[in-house]
Amino acid sequence: MLRTLLTLAAAYLAAIGLALLLVPAQFGIGAVPDDASPELIALLRLLGGPFLGIAVLNWMARRAEPASIANTVVLANLIGFGVVALNDVWGVLSGDARDLAAVFLVVHLAFTAAFAVARARSRPTPRPANPA
């Protein structure tokens, strides 16, 4: 399950990163004005880089053997998707987000839940103490 989750997250984040780099104004439709400044477009493109980096990290970690590497990547994704999902919830409930935010909210909540489950499953179960 973890391998599939990391693969899906890698593909999703790569798509977002490429969209921010290659077509930032079109990706930001409803949030980016038609007459966006070159500085705003440059900022959006700048954000594409970290998305691509995290996509590669997920892609490479999908086959990681040491549990500590996989657990670290799972925790990082859980925090990242969780914060983005909270931001989506805030934007949708306040009405300040673009209409498309509701779709992203569902996607981000799904990834957050999946990484939370993966994190819970990856944690070792405590062993009962041996009575002396």
The first and second tokens of residue 3, run together, are 């391998």
Q: Are 6 and 61 in contact (CB under 8 A)?
A: yes
Asked whether residue 129 is domain-assigned, the answer is: no
Q: Is residue 70 part of a domain?
A: yes
pLDDT digits (tens, 9 = 90+) for 57-93: 989 988 887 677 778 898 899 999 998 899 888 888 8
Across all residues in the chain, what is the average pLDDT? 86
Q: Which domain holds residue 88?
A: 2-122
Phi-psi region for residue 88, left (φ > 0), alpha (ψ -120 to 50) or beta?
alpha
The residues of the chain scoring below 70 in pLDDT are 66, 123-132
Flag whether 16 is in a domain.
yes
DSSP reduced 3-state for 64: coil
Residue 130 resides in a domain = no
Is 9 part of a structural domain of the chain?
Answer: yes
Residue 89 lies in a domain: yes
Number of domains in the chain: 1
Length, in residues, of the chain: 132
pLDDT at 127: 64
Q: What is the pTM of this model?
A: 0.77
- Asked if residue 127 belongs to a domain, the reply is no
